[in-house]
Amino acid sequence: MITPLDILSLETWILIGTILALLRYYIHRKWQVLKQLGIPHDPPTLLNLGNLVPAMKNFQQFFLNDVKNKKKFGKVYGTYVFLKSRITIWDTDVLQQIYIKEFSTFSDRKASSNLLNGEVMKNQLVSVSGPKWKRIRNTLTPYFSTSKLKGMYGTVEKCVELMVKQIKKTSEENDGKIDVKEVFGRMAMDSICAAAFGVDTHIQETGKDLKLIEMVKKIFDLQRTFNIWFILTIIFPWFEKVLRFFNYSVYPKGTIEYFVVLTDAIKEKSQTGSTDRVDFMRLMLQSEISEQESKQENAKGITQNEITANSITMILAGYDTTSSTILFLAYNLAAHKDVQQKLRQEIQDTVQEYGGLTYEGLNSMKYLTMCINESQRLYPAVPVNSRHCSEEIIMNGITIPKGVTIIIPMYGLAHDEEYWEEPMKFKPERMEDMNKIDPMIFQPFGGGPRNCIGMRFALIVVKLTICNVLQNFYLDFADDTPEPPLETIFRASVRPKVDVLSLKLTPIDTE
């Protein structure tokens, strides 16, 4: 019979046992952080990799866990992602400090996974931090001024008008039934490419540049990232550097390379094309600086790689989050005919007063804004936000250690019965007076200096789209449209659980 001493010596077994005991003690110490801070949490275990495994079991609806955890633990609770502690905060006073007063301590979204974005995408605004983030943000912010947006308004308007023509054609062929994600997605892509980059893709009318849509969808298929390598970086943050050494990227092979070639072509077109057209690419090229200049103190401008990375980010955001916002709003209006008709009347009144859907007229529509806000509350594009704590701090009696990630449950706050009566129902009237709504409870575009930089442009696309749809069509459910509330999942952004969401659009002029 073989004994352990036949395999290894007694000294070796003692050494192995000592190492395992020390390792277990180290893990135990790491798992005492939340307890020592007095922050409630579920007990972490090795089999659960802290608290990670239970959370991963239904990852596509992970944001629903926040609602359950608040009922269980209260407004502040913690979790362990293996050895790293995270603190989820619902307390609006603390969130206000994190976003605004103590922004210098919480200026970064996260401290991990950035290396896996690759050499190009590590320069996107949502990934960079510190002085680099401030320089890029200060450079890009003026591009979204009222005067710049007015200059792009007509371009977006043409894309939306083309969408209406395509819907009429499709509705005739399919008895009014359309895949709204596909239709609104193509329109959003058309708008962002035309207005932001001065490029007419013709995606809506000819199906040209289908590869562009294909590549965007590949990037947004988050199932690709949950492989053994990605999980190892969550468990062992240092492993990220190992993967980066081998040039591993979370993005599917060939996608970023495709967009680099695309944005290079857009740059060339912007440099040689007409100077009359206002677009983001032309503005960015005017602010281009060298890598060496970017490292200087108080540098202004953006580098070539930063232009490419943020151009790609604009394209991706334009397709996914903007089209999803329009989709959910259309769904809610189809489900509530009284709201739809009231909004249609406001559109008609505005057109009569302003002589058309002008920029000023569009932004004057109060009920339209109420409907958009309520739809974003019910179906936020981003269900959680995060901030990285760079220095230990105490706020409202809560100690947050250096290095801890703060989770802001945006979906949970927007569906909390403490703040919203019948939170699962679509009620635009609750958004009538935004002064009465705490911006920490309702934050569809984030909060503080790191809120969504493209918010105003996105809202123009959303408003123009829904106004043109209601001017030309009655929105209704198709035979396979799910009843509200619509079940959602998270895959890069919140989207319907059903693969295809259909609505029926009946042309008004045929009624």
Residue 354 CB-density burial (10 A; 0-12 exposed, 13-18 middle, 19+ buried) = middle
Most confident range, picked from 54-58, 158-162, 174-178: 158-162
**Sign of the torsion formed by the C-alpha atoms of 424, 181, 219 and 130:** negative
Average pLDDT over residues 127-135: 91
- CATH numeric code, 83-507: 1.10.630.10
Helix, coil or strand: residue 320? coil
Pull the structure tokens for residue 184: 């609104």
What pLDDT is stored for residue 511 in this prediction?
45
pLDDT of res. 34: 96
Q: What is the mean pLDDT of residues 48-54?
A: 90
pLDDT digits (tens, 9 = 90+) for 449-505: 999 999 999 999 999 999 999 999 999 999 999 999 999 998 878 889 998 899 999
Which residues lie closer than 8 Å to 82 by C-beta, 6 or more apart? 49, 50, 52, 234, 235, 236
| pLDDT at position 1 | 62
Tokens of 310: 């943020």
Give the rounded distance of the alpha carbon of 45 from its chain centre.
Answer: 31
The yes-or-no verdict on residue 269 having pLDDT over 80 is no
Residue 121 has pLDDT above 90, yes or no: no
pLDDT value at residue 386: 93
State percent of the chain over pLDDT 70: 94
Euclidean distance between CA atoms 377 and 357, whole angstroms = 26
Q: Please indicate if the annotation marks 193 as binding a ligand.
A: no
Report domain extents, the chain.
83-507
pLDDT band at 111 (very low <50, low <70, confident <90, very high): low
For residue 171, what pLDDT is reported? 77
pLDDT digits (tens, 9 = 90+) for 4-34: 766 778 888 889 899 999 998 999 999 999 9
The whole-number average pLDDT for the span 264-273 is 74
Do residues 87 and 404 make contact, with C-beta atoms less than 8 angstroms apart?
Answer: yes
Residue 170 has pLDDT above 90, yes or no: no
Poorest-pLDDT segment among 34-38, 60-64, 131-135, 162-166:
60-64
> How confident is the model at residue 406, as a pLDDT?
96
d(CA 433, CA 60): 33
pLDDT in tens, 193-250: 888 887 877 788 766 657 777 888 787 775 544 567 767 777 777 788 887 777 777 7
Strand segments, DSSP code E, in 219-311 are none
Predicted local confidence at residue 208, as pLDDT: 61
Exposure on the CB side of residue 391, measured as CA atoms within 13 A: 6
What's the average model confidence in pLDDT over 54-65? 84
pLDDT tens, residue by residue, 208-218:
657 777 888 78
Q: Residue with structure tokens 């798992």?
A: 31
Question: What are the contacts of 142-150 at 24+ separation with CB within 8 A?
Answer: 142/283, 143/280, 143/283, 143/284, 144/453, 144/454, 144/455, 144/456, 144/457, 148/278, 148/283, 149/359, 149/456, 149/457, 149/460, 150/359
Contacts of residue 398, Cβ cutoff 8 Å, sequence gap at least 6: 37, 39, 76, 87, 89, 91, 94
Among the listed residues 55, 52, 63, the one whose alpha carbon sits nearest the alpha carbon of residue 416: 63
CA-based R_g, the chain, Å: 25
Contact of 289 with 299, CB cutoff 8 Å: yes
Burial label, 315 (beta-carbon count in 10 A; 0-12, 13-18, 19+): buried
Residue 307: name the closest of 259, 248, 251 by CA.
259
User: What is the rounded average pLDDT of the residues 389-408?
Assistant: 94
Residue (of 254, 194, 246) closest to 219 by Cα position: 254
